[in-house]
Structure 1
Amino acid sequence: MPVQEAPSLLKLFTPELAADPYAFYRGIRQNSPVHYDKWMRSWVVLGYEEISALSKDERLSGARIESFHDSLPADARAELQPLKDALADMMVFHEPPRHTRLRHLIRPGLTPRFIRAMRPVIEELTDELLDRVEASGRMDVIHDFSEPLTRGVIGRMAGVPAHAEHLLANWQGLLLELFAQSRKEIPRVTALRAAFDEGAQARRDGTGTDFFTQMIAEQLQQGDFTEDEVFANFLLLIDAGQATTTHLIGNAVLALLRHPDQLELLRAQPELATKAAHELLRYDSSVQFTTRVALVDLDVRGHRIAAGESVTLVLGSGNHDPLKYEDPDRVDITRGSADHLSFGHGIHYCLGASLAVAEVEIALGRLLARTTDLRLLEPRPTWQDSINFRFLKGLPVSFTPVAPAARRT
Structure 2
Amino acid sequence: MPDPQTPSLLNLFSPEWSADPYGVYAYYRELREASPVYYDEWMRTWVVLGYDEISRLSKDERLSGARIGSFHEQLPSEVRAEIEPLANALSDMMLFNEPPRHTRLRRLVKPGLTPRLVREMRPAIEKLADELLDRAEERGGMDVVHDFSEPLTRGVIARLAGVPEKAGHLLENWPGLLHEFFTQSRAEIGRITELRTAFEEDAEGRRNGTAQDLFTQMIAEQLQYGDYSDDEIFANFLLLIDAGQATTTHLIGNAVLALAHHPDQAELLRQRPDLGVQAAHELLRYDSSVQFTTRVALTALEAGGHRIPEGDSVTLVLGSGNRDPLHYAEPDRLDITRRAADHLSFGHGIHYCLGASLAVAEIDVALRRLLERTGLRQVDTRPQWMDSINFRMLKRLPVTFERVH
- C-alpha separation between the residues in 1 aligned to 2:262 and 2:120? 33
Identify the residue that residue 255 of structure 2 maps to in structure 1. Answer: 252
Identify the residue that residue 275 of structure 1 maps to in structure 2. Answer: 278
Alignment of 1:139-150 (within 5 A): 139-150=142-153
In structure 2, which of residues 384, 388, 391 is the aligned counterpart of residue 389 of structure 1?
391
Instruction: Please give the secondary structure, in 2, of the residue aligned with 1:135.
Output: helix
| Structure 1 segments unaligned to the other structure (5+ residues) | none
In structure 2, which of residues 378, 381, 391 is the aligned counterpart of residue 379 of structure 1?
381
Identify the residue that residue 311 of structure 1 maps to in structure 2. Answer: 314
Mean CA deviation greater in 126-135 or 288-297: 126-135
Identify the residue that residue 17 of structure 2 maps to in structure 1. Answer: 17
- How far did 1:224 drift? 0.6
- How far did 1:166 drift? 0.3
- C-alpha separation between the residues in 1 aligned to 2:147 and 2:274? 26
Instruction: Please give the secondary structure, in 2, of the residue aligned with 1:323.
Output: coil
- How far did 1:401 drift? 2.0
| Percent identity between the two aligned chains | 71
- C-alpha separation between the residues in 1 aligned to 2:321 and 2:62? 20
* 1:192 corresponds to 2:195: yes
TM value normalised by structure 1: 0.96
Provide Cα deviations, 1:56-92, integer angstroms capped at 9, x if missing partner: 0000000000000011111111111111111110001
Tell whether the 8 Å contact from 1:6 to 1:28 is kept in structure 2 after alignment: no
Instruction: Please give the secondary structure, in 2, of the residue aligned with 1:146.
Output: helix
Structure 1 residues 98 and 5, CA gap change in structure 2 (3 angstroms): farther
Alignment of 1:152-167 (within 5 A): 152-167=155-170
Instruction: Please give the secondary structure, in 2, of the residue aligned with 1:324.
Output: coil
Alignment of 1:3-402 (within 5 A): 6-18=6-18, 19-20=21-22, 21-372=24-375, 374-402=376-404
- How far did 1:14 drift? 2.1
Tell whether the 8 Å contact from 1:150 to 1:245 is kept in structure 2 after alignment: yes
Paired residues, what number? 399
AA aligned opposite 1:119: R
- How far did 1:11 drift? 1.3
- C-alpha separation between the residues in 2 aligned to 1:261 and 1:295? 47
CA RMSD of aligned residues (A): 1.0
- C-alpha separation between the residues in 1 aligned to 2:388 and 2:52? 26
AA aligned opposite 2:395: K
| Structure 2 segments unaligned to the other structure (5+ residues) | none
Provide Cα deviations, 1:344-381, integer angstroms capped at 9, x if missing partner: 00000000100000000000000001112x10101110
Instruction: Please give the secondary structure, in 1, of the residue aligned with 2:61.
Output: coil
Give every structure 1 segment of 4 or more consecutive aligned residues whose post-TM-superposition deviation is greater than 4 Å: none
Instruction: Please give the secondary structure, in 2, of the residue aligned with 1:35.
Output: strand
Tell whether the 8 Å contact from 1:283 to 1:329 is kept in structure 2 after alignment: yes
- How far did 1:336 drift? 2.2
TM value normalised by structure 2: 0.97
AA aligned opposite 1:107: K
- C-alpha separation between the residues in 2 aligned to 1:384 and 1:285? 14
- How far did 1:6 drift? 4.7
Provide Cα deviations, 1:259-293, integer angstroms capped at 9, x if missing partner: 11000000001000011000000000000000000
AA aligned opposite 1:320: R
